Amino acid sequence: MPRGVSCLGSPEGEDGRYETPPASELQRLMWTKKGTSGHLDEVQPRIYIGDMYAAKDKRTLQAHHITHVLNAADGKFNVNTGPGFYRDTRITYHGVEAFDMPSFSLSPFFYPAGNFIKTALSSPTGKVFVHCAMGLSRSSTLVLAYLMIHERMTLVDAIKAVGANRNISPNNGFLEQLRELDKKLHYQGSPRRRT
C-alpha cells in the first residue's frame, strides 16, 4: 500500500506509524462527512461549534446550559459580542480576534484557546460554545487544536470526531497550521489516543 491514507482511512507511513497526511487528503476527509451545519451543534461531549446567530442568542445558549463562550471572531469588525454582551448571564467569555484568511496566523491562539476549553470542561457541568461568523473555519480550527493538544488526538482523528457532528472547513492556511501542530505533537514522541 502506498504511503498516505490506507483503505481504512488510517494515515500510516512505511513503518506503520502515524504520519500527518497532506492537506488534500484532510480536505477530502472533511468533504465526505455527514455532519450538519446548524447554528449550534454539539461536536464532542459538552463542546459546541456554531455561528454568530447562536452567539447572539442568549436564550438558546442558556437553554443548552452553555457556561463558556469562545469567540474566534472577536472584535468590532467581526462578531462584536464580548464579556459585556453576556454580563446578564453566567457565561464566561474569551475572545480571539482572528480573521478567516489563509494568511492569518491562528496558531499562536491554539494553546490559550485550548486552555480556555479545558478550563470550561474541568467543571462537571461546564459546556463551551466555540463560534466564529459561520462556524466553519476559525471555530473548528480552534476545537481541532484543542482535541489534538488536550485530548491527544491526531489531526485525522480530530477531524473525524468533529466532522461526524458538524460540517467543518478550516481555510487552507489554518489547515497547514494544524498540520504543523500535528507534526510537532507527533514528533515529541508522546503517545496519542487513536479512535
State how far the Cα of 33 lies from the Cα of 160, in Å rounded to an integer. 8
Residue for grid cell 446548524:
38
Read off the DSSP letter of residue 38. -
List the one residue out of 165, 118, 114 whose CA is nearest residue 144: 114
Residue 132 among the catalytic residues: yes
- Alpha-carbon distances, residue 131 vs 72, 101, 115, 154 (angstroms): 6, 16, 16, 22
Cβ-contact 171, 101 below 8 angstroms:
yes
**Region of residue 114 (phi > 0: left; psi between -120 and 50: alpha; otherwise: beta):** alpha
**Active-site entry in 132, 145, 149, 181:** 132
Measured in whole angstroms, the distance separating CA 158 from the mean position of its chain's CA atoms is 8
What amino acid positions are annotated as catalytic residues? 132
